[in-house]
Structure 1
Amino acid sequence: MESKRQQKYSKLIQKELGDIFQKESKHLVGRAMVTITRVLMSPDLGLAKVYLSFLLADPESTYKLINAHKKEIRHQLAKRIGKSVRVIPEIAFFPDDSAAYAQHMDKVISNLSIPPAPPEEEDQEEED
């Protein structure tokens, strides 16, 4: 379970990285829409695990490109939050497959053929 401080840092980093991907890192993501689904902070606040999901792009190539420019992204993050935090955490990016998994499960469930339930027989005896 994360402490209040970890949660506070997670929210701050999630918000700022979202802005960075929307405004300052368009050259990395192009037309792709990058969503930061969650950020998990280590107890010492030195590492941020950032989970990303992608729309309108090839997830593998976009993920590799973002990972290759990790230092540049961390530098942009430092410019934004440097005065409000002591240490700028190292950033580790991970693909978040939960949306794709949910879509897959929705498709599986919609393709199920479930027969209708047999009609229940009413009890002839009524209890008073």
Structure 2
Amino acid sequence: MQETKRQKQVGQLLQKELSDIFQRMGYNVIEGGMISLSAVRVTPDLLEARVYLSMFQIKDSADMMERIKERGWEIRKELGMRVGKQLRRVPELSFFLDDTLDYVFRMEELFKKIKDDDAGKENK
């Protein structure tokens, strides 16, 4: 089902504010890696938000996700103070790992390997 205009607007608002919150909490650059919000999807009733996080060069992404989920109440509280005037209720936040970046890197490696193999065959 396609998102409504209001869902998209709320998702963009939440993504902007959550990005700022993550930056202020120090989650954007942590342990030599980087965390960014790749997307925020909101349910049609605007009561739940799925926050997709992209992690770059983080050794244990599962552990990092747990740490973020443990502080989810704190993140939601901060979000409520920021968007309380624009939304009637602050959505419940669910955090998910977005592995699209990993997938892209794997695909690039495969394409490079195929290209190198083809170049090796032509040289023989």
For Structure 1 versus Structure 2, the TM-score category normalised by the shorter chain is 0.7 to 0.9
Partner residue of 2:23? 22
The structural deviation recorded for 1:10 is 0.3
Distance 2:97 2:106 in 1: 16
Question: Secondary structure of the residue that 1:111 maps to in structure 2?
Answer: helix
Partner residue of 2:74? 72
Distance 1:108 1:18 in 2: 32
Residues 72 and 46 of structure 1: is their aligned pair in 2 closer, same or farther, counting only changes over 3 Å?
same
Gap runs ≥5 in structure 2: none
TM-score (norm. length: structure 2): 0.85
- Opposite residue 112 of structure 2, the aligned amino acid is S
The structure that is helix-richer by fraction is 2
Gap runs ≥5 in structure 1: 117-128
- Residues 39-54 of structure 1 mapped to structure 2, 5 A cutoff: 39-54=40-55
Distance 2:57 2:87 in 1: 34
TM-score (norm. length: structure 1): 0.83
- Residues 1-128 of structure 1 mapped to structure 2, 5 A cutoff: 1-23=2-24, 25-26=25-26, 30-31=30-31, 32-58=33-59, 59-112=61-114, 113-114=117-118
Q: Which structure has the bigger radius of gyration?
A: 1
RMSD over aligned CA atoms reads 1.8
